[in-house]
Chain A
Amino acid sequence: MFTSLDARGLVDCLSQIPPIELQAVELLCSLPRNPTGGWFPIVPPECVAQATQQLIAYTRSCAALLDKLKYLPPTTLPTLEIPEWPL
Chain B
Amino acid sequence: MAALTDLQHAPMLLSTLMGSDPRLLLVRAVAWLVPDTLTSHPSDPRYIDFDYDAEDEFAVGMYVCRQCFPVVYAGVIQLQWQGATERTLERYLLEGISAQLVVPLQDLDELRYGPPIDFCGVYLHLLEAEDADNPPYNRLLPIFAHFGLREGGDESADVQDVALLTGRVLIHSLNERNARVYQDLSNLLMWMFSLSGNTAVDYTTEAFWENGYDMPQWSADDLALINDINQEAHDLIDSAFNALTLLEMDTDVCRAFTRNVKAVSNAVRKTLTHKENTHARIRPIGGDPDPATFALYARWPERT
Contacts and interface: CB of A to CB of B under 8 A. Distances in A.
The secondary structure that dominates the A interface is helix
Contacts of A38: 15
Contact of A49 (B11, B28, B70): B70
Given A35-B9, A52-B34, 8 more contacts: A24-B32, A49-B71, A49-B74, A49-B75, A51-B74, A53-B74, A63-B42, A66-B42
Contacts of A67: 42, 48
Measured as residues with beta carbon below 8 angstroms from the partner, the interface class of chain B is 20 to 34
Contacts of A56: 34, 66, 70, 73
A48 to B, nearest CB: 5
Interface in B26-56: 26, 28-30, 32-34, 37, 42, 47-48
Contact of A52 (B11, B22, B73): B73
Interface of B: 8-9, 11-12, 15-16, 19, 22, 25-26, 28-30, 32-34, 37, 42, 47-48, 66, 70-71, 73-75, 77-78, 81
21 contacts: A25-B26, A25-B29, A28-B19, A28-B28, A28-B32, A29-B25, A33-B12, A33-B15, A36-B11, A38-B15, A39-B15, A40-B81, A45-B74, A45-B75, A49-B70, A49-B71, A52-B34, A52-B73, A52-B77, A55-B34, A59-B34
A59 B30 CA distance: 9
A55 B30 contact: yes
Contacts of B33: 24, 48, 51-52, 55
A34 B11 contact: yes
A37 B13 CA distance: 10
A38 B12 CA distance: 10
A35 B11 contact: yes
